[in-house]
Structure 1
């Protein structure tokens, strides 16, 4: 006969005492905080997700603010790696400093985690016009072609048939 050792059930916190527990953040949460925080940085055209992420963005118009943001989240600290496309003509060192300031501030305010490292790789520079042209997805182009074809068919239906 096997005897079981009685186990004690978790006890409720005593009055005036805080309950115990932990608070953890998934990497995706910190990535999203950073992605949203970087959205309005002047001179930063995009955080670059690499070839396959960029290809996916070209096929379908997406708004994944975490693309191109890698983080390592510990219990109290975060390390961040970013790949970016900067605007041609801007001071990239100042851009890097603005990015670090915003990332450190937002992550600290929202999670109380300390950002200990921000590594940025500039993968490309483009003018705003080049970036806008490159940002049009295949989905957008296909929609434009369909609408153009519909307009053509519609205008052909309204023209009288000509016999020549």
Structure 2
């Protein structure tokens, strides 16, 4: 492109919504051995089992500056895993992914261990939660259907009644 001066820069600013950085963190955490969940989110090193992409940000909070990021997490760690090693792995994977994808520097990662569970306990809890949610959805659907039928019958009986002229 002849004629364009190389010293001429296009002005502008690149910013990230908290949700974007939280998602990067959540997806990066899937690779951390011994980490089951971030505050109820479904990580558990089961990339194929993420229920939906929004749950990946559960338990993750970030503060974003112009060039730096701080991350706070509340996590569930797998029983018999060395928690300080899990913590170091969490910090490393978060710093690497955020830097790689955004160029931002991670200056702080605070992790609060909310619970420790065996993998089996975690799986059982997860299945129980999914079953409870499915049952609640079914119950709500049944109730709505019954209410609709009831109202339809009432409307029908009103329209069949005597008419005022």
Same-fold status (TM-score > 0.5) = yes
What's the counterpart of residue 15 of structure 1? 5
Matching residue of 2:15:
24
- Structure with higher helix content: 2
Which structure ranks higher in relative contact order (CA pairs < 8 Å, sequence separation ≥ 6)?
A: 1
Q: Does 1:86 align with 2:77?
A: yes
After superposing on structure 2, the runs of 4+ consecutive aligned residues of structure 1 that deviate more than 6 Å are: none
Partner in structure 2 of residue 76 of structure 1: 67
Query: Which blocks of at least 5 consecutive residues in structure 1 are unaligned?
Result: 1-13, 51-60, 145-164
TM-score by length of 2: 0.68
Aligned residue in 1 for 2:92? 101
2:30 to 17, 34, 39: 39
Shift of 1:18: 1.9
CA RMSD across the alignment: 2.2
Mapped contact 1:80–1:117 kept (Cα < 8 A)? yes
Gaps of 5+ in 2: 42-50, 139-165
Aligned equivalents of 2:52, 2:102: Cα separation in 1: 26
How has the CA–CA distance of structure 1 residues 143 and 71 changed in structure 2, closer, same or farther, with 3 Å as cutoff?
A: closer
TM-score, length of structure 1 as denominator length: 0.68
Provide the secondary structure at the position in 2 that maps to 1:24.
coil
Matched length: 122
